[in-house]
Amino acid sequence: MSDFVLNLSPALSHKGNKRLMIFLKEKFIDTRLDSGYGLAFLSAISLFIAFAVVKAGLVAGIGVIALALGIPVVIICLYHIKAALVATIVFAFFFSIIKRAIGNIQLGLVIDGMVALMFFGLILKQINERNWKIKNNAVNKIILAWIAYNLLQLVNPTAESRLAWFYTVRSFAGIMIMYYLLMYAIDSRKFFFLLIWIWISLTVLAMIYGYIQEYVGLMPFEERWATATKERYALLFQAGKFRKFSYFSDPLVFGFMMAVTSILCFILAQGPIKKSYKVGLYIISALMMYAMLFSGTRTAFVLPMAAFLFYAVITFKKNIFIFGGVMGLLLIIILNIPTSNANIYRFQSAFNPTEDASYRTRARNQAFIQPFIQKHPLGGGLGSVGEWGKKFSPWSPLANFPPDSGFVRIAVEQGWLGLILYCTLLFLVFKQGLDDYFRIRDTLLKNISLGMLTVLFSLVVANFPQEAIGQYPINILFFVAIVLVIKAREFDVVKL
């Protein structure tokens, strides 16, 4: 918290108050509670928590602990945006397993609160410093337009429920505030590379946990969660085994995280880095590619091929095309060999969607909803389909419609106008990213830029058959990738 100095010695009208503040600072802050006074303070807090649990139950004790943790978090979010961003990303990776372990509580609201506090802290900084470090570009404007459009959905005349808007707008517009926070906070190469390291490191941990689930088994609390409802059990237990989800919310997120991070590691290994780093990245990429199979997410299986085509077209290198040819032949062999392995069989079925019952169901649903989309330019309102629709407007025909696609959800809830705006956003991101890529001179930054662009392309492809970009931590990493693409060009021009 280098940019936050706690000043406990302002001019006070009373000398006794001033001496008290100095005493508290010396005994509690300067010593970091490593003193007799600090021990007494901590003991008193412990006794208070124990008393609260005895008198009011476990919930009261948890509330007191949450309050004790919440105060430092609030201070960090307000005064140290970089640390808060790192904490938010880390928490986004782990909050699903925390929910499974301690109960289905709305931990997503914690992330929303942290984002809101960081944004408020950024506003306070601008009031005092007036040092706005975000350069004006088309992406800034289109994201602002998208946020405004989502806010205007509150007065959508065809929306069945206004309350649903309050619950869902945070996942569409609220999370996009992360873009501006990241644009402000990434002001040096050091933090630029730190975010990439955090992304890969946390995903490696998720991969390791996925291997543990595959070869050792699920933890007891995970089995209880997986079998809590018939619908969840049917989704997770297929072909005689559980689809793996690591510490993410479901197998879909695990599969996508393994796929896109494997792609990222492979591309980063092509850059001007040490040989030992290259070998490490190749190993991680291969292990993640195999871990992806544990998820049983068919869409994830297609992403490496789509990403490779994008990468090959942009780089247009002879060795890449040769490698692609070899991998293509290997893919053909894998797709045609008889197998009793459930992971391999599900991988094979991903490339024959017409024989997949779920694919046919999605196709029927999308054909059914097309007339509604065409007649409603503003859509049916945020939260009108899926689980939120069933909760807030169960009488609506849209409530029982499963979108099964990020783009279809936008088209149904926000209309074809919203879909056009969202596609324009994606177009401008790729346009600026590719323009910058071909202008970057630093080979390391150039390679990272292409890696992030390929990740973005993969997620956009995944968002067609699935809702790939709307869940933690993918929704946050999506904006991390966008900002890293933009910042790569800035750091190439200005050495920071």
pLDDT tens, position by position, 34-59: 566 666 766 766 676 666 666 665 55
First-last CA distance in the chain: 20
Helix (H, G, I), strand (E, B) or coil at 117: helix
| DSSP H or E run through 79 | helix 58-79
pLDDT band at 240 (very low <50, low <70, confident <90, very high): confident
- Radius of gyration (C-alpha) of the chain in whole angstroms: 25
Cα separation of 222 and 242, whole Å?
11
Least confident residue range of 124-138, 270-284, 480-494: 124-138
**Which of 57 and 179 is assigned the larger pLDDT?**
179
pLDDT band at 14 (very low <50, low <70, confident <90, very high): very low
Cα distances (Å, whole numbers) of residue 49 to 43, 46, 56, 66, 131: 10, 5, 10, 11, 43
From 42, 45, 43, select the one nearest 61 (Cα to Cα). Answer: 45
Structure tokens at 228: 């809590």
Which of 38-47, 96-105, 335-344, 458-467 shows the highest mean pLDDT?
A: 458-467
Residues 159-177 have pLDDT tens digits of 888 888 888 887 778 788 9
User: How is the chain split into domains, by residue range?
Assistant: 1-79, 138-493
From 493, 490, 381, 496, select the one nearest 139 (Cα to Cα). Answer: 490
Cα separation of 277 and 339, whole Å?
35
Structure tokens at 10: 């302002």
